[in-house]
Structure 1
Amino acid sequence: MKKNALLILFLAASATSIFAQSNMNVGAKPTKKAVVYFDGSRDMLDKNWTYWDGPRLAAQLPIKWQIVKDPVDGGTVMSSNDPAGAGGKYGAADIVTNKKFRDFRAHVEFLIVNPGGNSGVYLQNRYEIQVLDGDSTSHGLGAVINESESPYFAYNGLGKWNSYDIVFRAARFKDGKLTEQPMVTMYFNGKKAHTNQVISQVWGGPNSGIDGGNDGGKGITDVPGGLKLQAEGHDVFYRNIWIEELNLKKADTDF
């Protein structure tokens, strides 16, 4: 009986591990409590997203990000190549979810078409997880920008789908003062890339996101923000984006 019980526990643990890996990779299905924010359709893009109304906004609704054919698996996806963002003008045509978040888990899939393709995934419309082919520095692909090194080893490469699976805990405040920095854990294509990475500030100035212009990005405020995708005039495609709201009591995002 003891051997059988141990075998059952082992098999259950193995099944859980396999499920966890499959749910943190390209094609991952939403968790039970998650909401799908983009499924490849124009209707969902228009329903759940809008342009970020930052100081450099140059685009007008409806969103000019195009719904295009998925070059790998068929179906449709969206392209971040908004004409208003041409020349690398981040903030000119970035899109952000209408829903704003504090703590959350997110799954985002992206495909970079051309060498040097550039975009970005912004947590709370503040903290960038870089999407940039060819850069393996702390400003590069998969990095919590300027806070960690790039996990470039996990990149599937040009013309292939990649996934970020993220658990994010927002900054904490007491009496209006910052008491705990924001924190993130991330898997890149199913490989753990960052564990409880503390984020010190918003990088990139006022055109990058909420609080970017406050005290050089260090003036973080107690305001929720949406998940933002960056337009820089490059052919970077997105699909299968879902988010589950969380309430993380402890300063721990590991999963």
Structure 2
Amino acid sequence: MKTKIALLALLPAGLLFADHHGEQTTKKLYPNAPLIPGSEYTVHDTTRPQPRKVESGGCVSVKAPSDAKVLFDGTNTEAWKGNWRVEDGILIASRGTLSTKEEFGDCQVHIEYRVPADREVMGQKGGNSGIFLMGRYEIQIGESHTNVTYPDGQAGAVYGQTPPLVNPATPQGEWQSYDIIFKAPVSEDGKVVKPAEITVLFNGVVVQASYKIQGPTKHQTTTSYPENHPAKGPINLQWHNDPIEFRNIWVRDLGEYDQQ
């Protein structure tokens, strides 16, 4: 075991990752995955360098502004379609997708999540969820403080497209926060002429800065925008067989400048 650890320590940064079983290896998990457009790396490329770890102050809990639509305040799931359960003021991923009844385009979203402390997490298993803007564009939710996975699939990533700029995750069992500013794609004559754009603060730290989303997020493949893209869509929370916990979820429409 000591010899193995010593040899692993000599490998270049970015070559180690945890596969679906949590084992460290230098093999690509998806060797036939395509190159991400504009990148030298393939989708879910485990040789891609891991984002730099930074210490953060942890969850930034923000009270919903007066013009926000409160999606979850600890009491009920009336704003959602789905069957997740609520226990002690906490929304727990239970089964199936949870989807807002209302649809949104340009918006600001605040959400807080926690991976249970006693949950065994290995790679993409055990602590996995995601928040989907317009039901199509996923920001990965998961345990990234000590757990290692492919960089475009760790917490704060635009799934399958780009890793977070840095990794400000705090230990498993602690609450974490995302503050998201999302600009919906712009279409003309049924075709997207301006891509969706997203900025994400993870525990108060910028991890996506006006990133231009390449299309709906997908697994193991590249993406592009479909024709006749809708102007709005629901916010979805993903069930990935893991009981991820959520609290304090709200959204604000981002309209034009209001002088009144």
Q: Distance in 2 between matches of 1:248 and 1:126?
A: 24
Question: Which of 237, 240, 248 is residue 232 of structure 1 equivalent to?
Answer: 240
Q: Distance in 2 between matches of 1:216 and 1:162?
A: 29
> 1:183 — aligned with what?
197
2:192 maps to a residue whose letter is L
Checking the alignment, whether the CA contact within 8 Å between 2:60 and 2:176 is kept in structure 1 is yes
Checking the alignment, whether the CA contact within 8 Å between 1:50 and 1:98 is kept in structure 2 is yes
Q: Distance in 1 between matches of 2:141 and 2:166?
A: 11
Checking the alignment, whether the CA contact within 8 Å between 1:172 and 1:181 is kept in structure 2 is yes
Q: Distance in 1 between matches of 2:210 and 2:164?
A: 15
Q: Distance in 2 between matches of 1:156 and 1:26?
A: 12
Q: Deviations over 1:113-158 (max 9, x none)?
A: 1223111000111100001222361121110112221356211121
> 2:112 — aligned with what?
109
> 1:58 — aligned with what?
none
* Larger fraction in helix: 1
Whether 1:147 aligns to 2:181 is: no
1:126 maps to a residue whose letter is R
Structure 2 gap ranges (5+): 1-56
> 2:170 — aligned with what?
156
2:81 maps to a residue whose letter is T
- Further displaced range: 136-145 or 194-203: 136-145
> 2:185 — aligned with what?
171
Q: Deviations over 1:36-69 (max 9, x none)?
A: 1101112xx0x21003xxxxxxxxxxx1x12123
Whether 1:68 aligns to 2:81 is: no
- Further displaced range: 185-194 or 126-135: 126-135
Deviation at 1:35, TM superposition (A): 1.6
Q: Percent of pairs identical after alignment?
A: 28
> 1:245 — aligned with what?
253
TM-score of the superposed pair, with normalisation by structure 1: 0.68
Q: Which runs of 4+ in 1 moved over 6 A?
A: none
> 1:208 — aligned with what?
none
Whether 1:49 aligns to 2:49 is: no
Checking the alignment, whether the CA contact within 8 Å between 1:36 and 1:243 is kept in structure 2 is yes
Deviation at 1:218, TM superposition (A): 3.1
Deviation at 1:178, TM superposition (A): 1.1
Structure 1 gap ranges (5+): 1-21, 52-62, 70-75, 83-92, 206-211, 250-255
Q: Distance in 2 between matches of 1:200 and 1:110?
A: 26
Two-structure CA RMSD over aligned residues (Å): 2.5
Change (3 A) 1:237 1:36: same
Change (3 A) 1:216 1:159: same
Deviation at 1:26, TM superposition (A): 2.8
Q: Distance in 2 between matches of 1:199 and 1:184?
A: 7
Question: Which of 135, 138, 142 is residue 128 of structure 1 equivalent to?
Answer: 138
Whether 1:34 aligns to 2:34 is: no
Deviation at 1:182, TM superposition (A): 0.2
1:196 maps to a residue whose letter is S
